[in-house]
Structure 1
């Protein structure tokens, strides 16, 4: 392991597991499964002493690369948020037709959505139609 790799592990939270997450894994984190993006899911078994601060089973994800919460697939999202009790790896989960595949968050990039009328849009704002009268204190 290179020095740069060690420093990246210590000082970044957005890239894979932090030192705190690794510590939690070493204290009894149980591997539950892996999704199609390579994200790995863990839980702390429901032990009242270990989970007293949480009130329920502690669950977390170690991202395979850049940590982006929207990269969790729908089936795993339900498990990580305690909506369902069984992880998708245990039930041969098949996404429903209305569940969309993950798309990267484009906010802050040139590919970000910029609606018509936005100050950052390349399109021209439509002209006022005359059906609006600005408020003034004299009225």
Structure 2
């Protein structure tokens, strides 16, 4: 006999679940003392493999403060005969195609930042 235990994430405490898209991504908002720009976020359905292209256009606008209409509200306004269905961008799928900057921990050619030396001006004979 198994028991169901719902795990509450710390960053979701005090937040409002605004909606869930057709892919299972959950969208949250916390108003009040939260810094503007950090009060809306997405919790991806696939915890192990996710990227920004998994957010459909109707939720992208809400998430990035382009509109205050949620994705569900925008879907009701969208004519059914226009536009293609959203699909995730899989062109960069696989670790070999994911870009990691030179300072990123997962970059195999990561820079050795410990070799940094501060600049000192050259001394002249008059000094």
TM-score, normalising length: structure 1: 0.51
Would the alpha carbon gap of residues 100 and 106 (structure 1) be closer, same or farther in structure 2, given more than 3 Å must change? same
Counterpart check, 1:35 vs 2:25: no
Q: Give the alignment partner of residue 90 of structure 2, picking from 105, 108, 121.
A: 105
Q: Contact between 1:40 and 1:63, CA under 8 Å: does it hold in 2?
A: yes
Counterpart check, 1:77 vs 2:64: no
Unaligned runs of 5+ in 1: 1-18, 113-139
Which stretches of structure 1, 4 residues or more, deviate above 3 A after TM superposition? none
- In the TM superposition, residue 88 of structure 1 has moved relative to its aligned partner by 2.0
- In the TM superposition, residue 100 of structure 1 has moved relative to its aligned partner by 5.4
Unaligned runs of 5+ in 2: 1-7, 98-127
| TM alignment of 1:45-60, pairs within 5 A | 45=31, 47=32, 50-51=33-34, 54-55=35-36, 58-60=39-41
Would the alpha carbon gap of residues 108 and 69 (structure 1) be closer, same or farther in structure 2, given more than 3 Å must change? closer
Q: Distance between the aligned counterparts of 2:26 and 2:57, measured in 1?
A: 15
